[in-house]
A and B are shown apart, each in its own frame.
Chain A
Amino acid sequence: MDKTNESKETTKQRFSLPFHVIKRINIPVWKKILIYAVAIITGLLLSSLICAGFAGKSPVDFFVYLFKGAFGSSRRIWVLLLDMALLLGTSIALIPAFKMKFWNLGGNGQILVGCLSAVACMNFLGGKVSNGLLIFIMFLASVAAGIIWALIPALFKAFFNTNETLFTLMMNYIAIGLVRFCIASWVKSGSGVLTPIGYGNLPKLYNDQLLTILVFVILTLFMFVYLKYSKHGYEISVVGESVNTAKYVGINVSKVIIRTMILSGAIAGLVGFFIAGAVDHTVSDAAANNMGFTAIMTSWLAAFNPLVMMLTCFFISFISKGMLQVRTDFGLSSDSIANIVVGLVYFCVIACAFFVNYKIVFRKKEDK
């Protein structure tokens, strides 16, 4: 009993501090949600005060503009949903790896090479094959590229236990370099910008956004079932919890790592495909829009549950979009203000994990 982890000291301690921290054993769901809600609101309030302070306007306006920026018109709502869908796609790409405790920080790179491959197809095959075939080839190329980019660190992790955090991180920069190299080779003018290409654009479904949104929402549902109810998902959990147990029951750990990273890379590549085919129609070194990192936050905030992730992705997209409006209306010169706000909200939400996992017990009056 002195070895149990959940040993709980409920008592007054005569420490110098007037309170004492203990680990929570169970926390009701409503309490958890409440803690997160308080954290998000705190983060937004802080942001509103800071922004209002810089701009000399009322903090209430901050919220007005935030909502206006995100929901101001039906087009804005659609764009917001599109952003959410892409972020969601990136998050479900990362989630199986995270469940396996494989720290895939390479989402950006995997998306980027996916996007680059699709654009390469558009650039070289555009007009030479039918649009339908082109899109199909783009799809294959993107997914393959995403897989390769995820597979390289996965192979080394599987066979040599190479630190994947740094490996995948470096792969991002290699991908960025590759994109710059391709643009420098393709764009003869030297402008360094590849103008949008008219070939290989995905067909419209009601509008420009709906198809992408649908695809990733459906994929999210698939991922939920895959992780929770499939044998593969179970193996991922076992490997993530304990590699030794996995070996003990005969799970081929290397195989699971490789298989999972193939899935991860394929979905990331798919995100790149949609960016190329449905959104940007071109590629730049910032095409991934840092979603690879943002998705780490969204999936972590969602406790790696794909369904909850829809909410977290929506929320982060909402802030980014809303902040554009806040910036314009507050007359702030720097677009980096959005990063500050997102960073602040992250801090608050990260900090609140403490209150979910631990409890502060205030010392009652000393017994005399």
Chain B
Amino acid sequence: MTNEVLIEFQNITKTFGSITANAGVNMDIRKGEILSVLGENGCGKTTLMNMLAGIYYPDGGKILIGGKEVLIHSPKDAFRYKIGMIHQHFKLIDVFSAAENVVLGVKDGSKYNLKNVKKRIGEMCDRYGFHINPDKKIYEMSVSEKQTVEIIKVLYRGADILILDEPTAVLTPQEIRKLFDVLRAMRADGKSIIIITHKLNEVMEISDRVAVLRKGKHIATVNTTETNEQELTEMMVGKKVTLNIDRSLVENPQDRLLVMDLNCTDLEGVKVLDHVSFTARSGEILGIAGIAGSGQRELLEAIAGLQKLDSGEIIFNRPKKNLPVSFYHKTLNEVKFLAKEGRFHYEDGTPVDLSGKSNSEIKKLVNDGKILFNEDEVMSLRDKTPLQIRELGVRLSFVPEDRLGMGLVGNMDLVDNMMLRSYRKGNSALLNRKKPESLADTIVKDLEVVTPDLHTPVRKLSGGNVQKVLVGREISLAPKVLMAAYPVRGLDINSSYLIYNLLNKQKKEGVAVIFVGEDLDVLLGLCDRILVINSGRVAGILDARTVTKEEVGFLMTKTDGGEGNANG
């Protein structure tokens, strides 16, 4: 690394409406270094770099390259200054091949010839240690491959300054190591690399210097060798936050959800769930770890009744042994039928015989809690629609990964979103908006949702508030099973902790919680057991209190081989 300053920000300011994203940022980037830009979600690090990449234009201040002020109005301008950015959401065209994506938009005066493009891609791969098949279509690629295409795309345009926005978020530990090797090779080649991240361990591992941003302001840039994680954290969050998540012991666990040998194939004929078996217990948080796209979504959707299965069984266990039957779960006719089957007894142990009793008598017995179950109720959720699952009286809550695309309706207000789960109640053909309104009000108050009013479309709320609304609604259903997919993705630290606390509270109340996460630290700190899913298979179910990150990472990434059947 030289100390030659390549790019300088001078007093850069950027606002979006009333929100200030960056305020008076002064910092520099040097030639041949790896610089980490560190900060919490929403601290303005991506916005700052977007201004370098030509996505946004600063409201105030200057950008200097090689000491001269430059105006970067568009990504095209950025490329002119040899700056290329790899965004968190890849900007690739699915139906194009890797080579077509790489050459897209390149106007270097040469004749358009995919053969030459492929040759150049091959040369780059050799130089920096990538592996990519240039003819492969993007929609057939893994996340890591897509990222490689993005990097090649930027290099192909001759970029000397690469900005990577959260490059490791979706990669496995092994893939991260490979990426870091590539980055080091590029640095050795004289390129400057900027990594936007909020992961401290990676900052320490890869970067030469760290620039810390907080609430849109540049706090400091320090040499990595002269700092430590504790100091960086303090700079990043400002005040001390407890990094430990409270984890209570599991009390009186009971098998609540039994998933047995699930198999599922997607539309393209790829096996997405392969003999998946596990048990979720009440009063416990079961974490699911895995590389993005290993079958987590399909698994949760299968349980929720949204995914067609090839085979397998999903059993919901309702603990009812020696507990009274109620009209909440059963109709009068069902009670009669079950009594005929000999499934009930009275408090004194005698079998229930309802023959000859009038309906009103039976109703009274049930309402007084006199009729008790002999055994727990066992019901199959396989091939049931979400509605049928509800009608069985199974209280299954699901916080899906895609909040505004699945869990909520972005264009509807808070009240109408509350109603999604409950609007069917009652026999009237018309809607009743009173209860949803009071529920919305409660959630806004309890979870401190920041919203102008209850009639604001939820898409206008920030990511954290959207998630609070969704989790709040799902918890309000008083679930027996709560499934949450990446519930803290994109949330700041405070919102994340609020969600962890909510999940913990559910656990204490005896709910079987299934938590799909991506941050291994959180999974290890929050969950009781961790199920590792790898290419649709259960690679292992581990005790979260004793396992190490490396073990989980290994199970997540190991490829086919002679591993034992770890299903437990």
Binding site for B on A (CB under 8 A): 1-11, 13-15, 25, 229-234, 237-238, 241-242, 244-245, 247-252
Contacts and interface: CB of A to CB of B under 8 A. Distances in A.
6 contacts: A3-B490, A8-B16, A11-B57, A13-B73, A238-B409, A245-B409
B463 A242 contact: no
B75 to A, nearest CB: 15
A244 B420 contact: no
B402 interface: yes
Interface stretch (B351-359, B384-392, B508-516): B384-392
B16 A248 contact: no
A2 B46 contact: yes
A14 B73 contact: yes
B17 interface: yes
Given A1-B42, A237-B412, A244-B405, A231 B431 contact: yes
Contacts of B411: 241
B21 to A, nearest CB: 6
A2 B409 CA distance: 21
Contacts of A231: 423-424, 428-431
Nearest to B165: A2
A15 B462 CA distance: 30
B343 interface: no
Nearest to A232: B429
A250 B385 CA distance: 7
Given A230-B431, A252-B387, A1 B16 contact: yes
Residue of B17, B410, B421, B490 most packed against chain A (CB within 10 A): B17
Given A241-B411, A248-B407, A252-B385, A5 B416 contact: no
Given A1-B16, A1-B21, A248 B431 contact: no
Contacts of A14: 57, 71, 73
Contacts of B412: 237-238, 241
B431 A229 contact: yes
The 3 A-B residue pairs whose C-beta atoms are closest, nearest first, are A250-B387, A250-B386, A8-B17
Contact of B430 (A8, A229, A237, A238): A229
A7 B71 CA distance: 21
Given A242-B405, A245-B407, 6 more contacts: A1-B16, A6-B17, A14-B57, A234-B423, A241-B411, A248-B386
B17 to A, nearest CB: 4
A160 to B, nearest CB: 13
Interface in B401-437: 402, 404-412, 416, 419-421, 423-424, 428-431
Contacts of B462: 1, 4
A13 B423 contact: no
A249 B57 CA distance: 41
B306 interface: yes
Contacts of A10: 15, 17
Contact of B16 (A7, A229, A245): A7
A2 B47 CA distance: 6
Contacts of A13: 57, 73
B290 interface: no
A6 B402 CA distance: 19
Contacts, number: 103
A247 B430 CA distance: 21
Interface string B41-59: 0101011001000001101
Contacts of A234: 416, 419, 423, 431
A242 B405 CA distance: 6
Nearest to A249: B420
B38 to A, nearest CB: 16
B405 to A, nearest CB: 6
B176 to A, nearest CB: 23
A232 B463 CA distance: 30
Interface residues of B, number: 51
A230 B431 CA distance: 5
A262 B102 CA distance: 49
B400 interface: yes
Interface in B542-557: none
Nearest to B50: A2
Contacts of B270: none
Contact of B400 (A1, A230, A248): A248
B460 interface: yes
A105 to B, nearest CB: 23
A224 to B, nearest CB: 13
Contact of A11 (B46, B59, B73, B421): B59
B249 interface: no
A250 B463 CA distance: 25
A2 B21 contact: yes
A245 B462 CA distance: 19
Nearest to B408: A245
A245 B430 contact: no
Residue of B50, B73, B431 most packed against chain A (CB within 10 A): B431
B241 interface: no
A230 B390 CA distance: 21
A242 B50 contact: no
A3 B17 contact: no
A258 to B, nearest CB: 16
B361 to A, nearest CB: 35
Residue of A7, A14, A232 most packed against chain B (CB within 10 A): A7
Nearest to B433: A229
B136 interface: no
Contacts of A2: 21, 44, 46-47, 50, 56
B304 interface: yes
Contact of A6 (B42, B389, B429, B460): B460
Contacts of B56: 2, 9
Contacts of A230: 429-431
A10 B306 CA distance: 43
A208 B423 CA distance: 43
B156 to A, nearest CB: 26
Nearest to B48: A2
A3 B400 contact: no
B135 to A, nearest CB: 29
B459 interface: yes
Nearest to A251: B387
Contact of B421 (A5, A25, A249): A249
Contacts of A25: 17, 460
B398 interface: yes
A356 B4 CA distance: 50
Interface in B3-36: 15-17, 19, 21
A238 B386 CA distance: 16
A219 to B, nearest CB: 17
B25 to A, nearest CB: 14
A245 B21 contact: no
Contact of B463 (A3, A238, A247): A3
A232 B431 CA distance: 9
Contacts of A245: 405-409, 420
A7 B59 CA distance: 14
Nearest to B409: A241
B406 A242 contact: yes
Nearest to A6: B460
Contacts of A233: 431
